[in-house]
Chains A and B, each alone.
Chain A
Amino acid sequence: MAAQVFRSSDPNPNLRFLEEVSARTAGVSRLEMCIQCGTCGGSCPSSVDMDHTPRMLFALIRAGLREAALSSNTPWYCVSCYHCVVRCPQDVHIADVMYTLKSMAIQEKLYKEATAPDFSQTFVDMVETYGRSYEFGLATRHYLKHFPLRMPSMAPMGLGMLSKKRMDITPTRIEGMDQLKAILTRAKELEVV
């Protein structure tokens, strides 16, 4: 393959950064096809909070600026609204690329703010323990760690959810927990790194 030849002549791993991001994205990302038109940023409800618009982020990736791209807060502010995805003239799977960038940032510990990665990890821990999400445990653990100041203003809501029976105090566990664990353990070994 051409890329192979290319790599051997230049050891810079970031030459292949775009390829790597694309390969790690589920489905066919089409990130290579981005024409830098900016439609994504113009469609994005979160762009005001983002370090880079999606277009700028994709420019960083193409430029091989690995650290800058993986430490951008942009993927963490993506709310998966898919506005950009249906408007992108090149059908880039933008929301899925954002997921890939999150997982790479976690792996390489390049994220700047821990709230979002911690939330994802706590959520995943619950699912890996019970097979179901467990809102009460998740919320308590997450808020105590990241939003202790918010607890007082959250309390009435939590109380309302409990009194209206919209939150369980105990988690539900699926029957096939061993089966699920076996599947996930194997899947982790297969993760393309």
Chain B
Amino acid sequence: MKKYIFYPGCAMDTSAKAYNESMQAVLAPLGLDFEEVHDWNCCGATEYLGISTVPAYALISRNLALAARQTNGDRTVVASCSACYLNLAKADYYMAERPSLGELVNVALAEGGLDYTPGTLEIRHLLDIIINEVGLDAVKERVTHPLKGLRVAPYLGCMVPRPDYKKRWSDYEYPNELDRLLKALGAEVIDFPLKTHCCGGHMTQISPTTAFELIRRLISSADHHKADVMVTVCPMCQLNLDAYQNETNQYFHTNYKMPILFFTQLIGLAFGIEAKKLGLGRELVSAREALSRIGVEVPQEEPEVKPRRKKPTGLPMPKMPVNEEKTL
């Protein structure tokens, strides 16, 4: 078992519950043991940085300080969310590049009885750990149910391969690590041209039409390449492509139904883990049909909170006149 400190970030317990469930299910088979940063706080996403500098870096650094205290020799913190990963890595990198920033942040941290020396920790993304520490050979050995016949679009998004301060990826814009992992699981991997293009980030909240266009490009390209599912490594990417796919369809009068899954869910399936334990069924764009191709049955959604019964093709919804929508 390899032990690491783990920074989950806010989405893992909420919108990316499926990511969390599937990650937890595959950790032991991958020989990984994660210990959560105790009482971690939000990393501020891309929002805090746009409001202030020292407070934003202090917010991020409280997590670094807590994690550094917790480590017993192992200096690696793993993050599963791309934005969290980059924020933690960025704070560590910039406080070293510009020591005066590190000093100011430490003055603030001292107010809470904490401190952090830049360079103390290695910040890495979960995918990086699986590729480079667990290794593809070890992954392959565990595959009992190869994903034969499932066409997947490997989608990394921006913040894992870029800016890549520590030069861990094979390319900034067209890295092949995720492709190789999915191939090791037996999937048919399409050469996805937009694999590191943007999912829209918080534009879904700020300028929806900008976001819809970015989402449309990704989904239509994956669809054009006849992918059955798109695979993501980030809660934000999954949320944008899954939860806003319907609105994007309405806006462009399209009818895409591209299921968006987390890479850990596919690892779990290939390892023969039950679909329910992998959070399958939580996606809003159903993966039922796609996964039936490889003999996996996606569990029915939990009936507890009674949504007014859904029609299979989407809900009856008040349609807004197009011109009104355009002015949003």
Measuring CB to CB, which residues of chain A are less than 8 angstroms from any residue of chain B?
24-28, 45-46, 49, 75-77, 79-83, 85-86, 95-96, 98-100, 102-103, 106, 115-116, 119-121, 123-124, 127, 131-133, 135, 139, 142, 147, 149-150, 152-157, 159-168, 172, 174-176, 179-180, 182-188, 190-192
Contact A80 B51 (CB under 8 A): no
Give the 7 A-B CB pairs with smallest separation, nearest first.
A82-B162, A27-B94, A187-B108, A102-B50, A179-B112, A187-B58, A123-B47
Min CB gap A190→B, angstroms: 5
Q: Which A-chain residue is minimally distant from B16 (CB atoms)?
A: A166
Alpha-carbon separation in the docked complex, A147 to B247 (Å): 14
Contact with A along B260-302 (1 / 0, CB 8 A): 0000000000000000000001111000000000000000011
Q: Are the C-beta atoms of A28 and B14 separated by less than 8 Å?
A: no
- Of the candidates B18, B93, B104, the one having the most CB atoms from chain A within 10 angstroms of its own CB is B104
Is the beta-carbon distance between B51 and A103 smaller than 8 angstroms? Answer: yes
Indicate if the CB atoms of A81 and B53 lie closer than 8 Å: no
**Hey, which chain B residues are within 8 Å of A162, CB to CB?**
305, 307
- Are A147 and B53 in contact (CB-based, < 8 A)? no
- Give the residue of A75, A96, A165, A191 whose beta carbon is less than 8 angstroms from that of B282: A165
A83 to B157, CA, bound (A): 11
Could you tell me the dominant secondary structure of chain B's interface residues? loop
B42 touches A135 (CB 8 A): no
Q: Which of A182, A186, A191 contacts B53 (CB 8 A)?
A: A191
Interface CB pairs A-B, < 8 A, 29: A26-B57, A27-B93, A79-B198, A79-B200, A83-B162, A98-B50, A116-B207, A119-B47, A119-B202, A124-B48, A124-B51, A127-B41, A127-B48, A139-B205, A152-B318, A152-B320, A162-B307, A163-B307, A164-B281, A166-B16, A166-B282, A175-B39, A176-B41, A179-B112, A179-B114, A180-B59, A183-B58, A187-B54, A188-B55
Select from chain A the residue with minimum beta-carbon distance to B283: A164
Report if B224 contacts A (CB, 8 A). no
What count of chain B residues pass the 8 Å CB interface test? 85
| Inter-chain contact A153/B320, CB cutoff 8 Å | yes
Among A80, A103, A174, point to the contact of B40 (Cβ < 8 A).
Answer: A174
Report B-chain residues with C-beta under 8 Å of the C-beta of A86: 162-164, 172-173
Q: Tell which of B10, B41, B158, B284 has the most Cβ of chain A within 10 Å.
A: B41
Whether B1 is near chain A, meaning CB under 8 Å from some CB there, is no
Which residues of chain A are within 8 angstroms of B62 by Cβ–Cβ distance? 176, 179-180, 183
Contact A157 B207 (CB under 8 A): no
Bound form: Cα–Cα A191–B59 in Å: 13
Contacts of A157 in B (CB 8 A): 243-244, 246-247, 284
Give chain B residues whose Cβ lies under 8 Å from the Cβ of A179.
Answer: 62, 112-114
Q: Is the CB of B101 within 8 A of A27?
A: yes
Interfacial chain A residues near B51, Cβ < 8 Å: 102-103, 106, 120-121, 124
- A96 and B158 CA atoms in complex are apart in Å by 15
Given A45-B197, A49-B207, A167-B15, A188 and B52 touching (CB < 8 A)? yes
Interface string of B118-145 (1 = CB under 8 A from A): 0000000000000000000000000000
Q: Does B105 contact A (CB under 8 A)?
A: yes
Determine the residue in chain B with the shortest Cβ distance to A84. Answer: B162
Report B-chain residues with C-beta under 8 Å of the C-beta of A156.
246, 314-315, 317
Residues of A within 8 A of B111 (CB): 182-183, 185-186
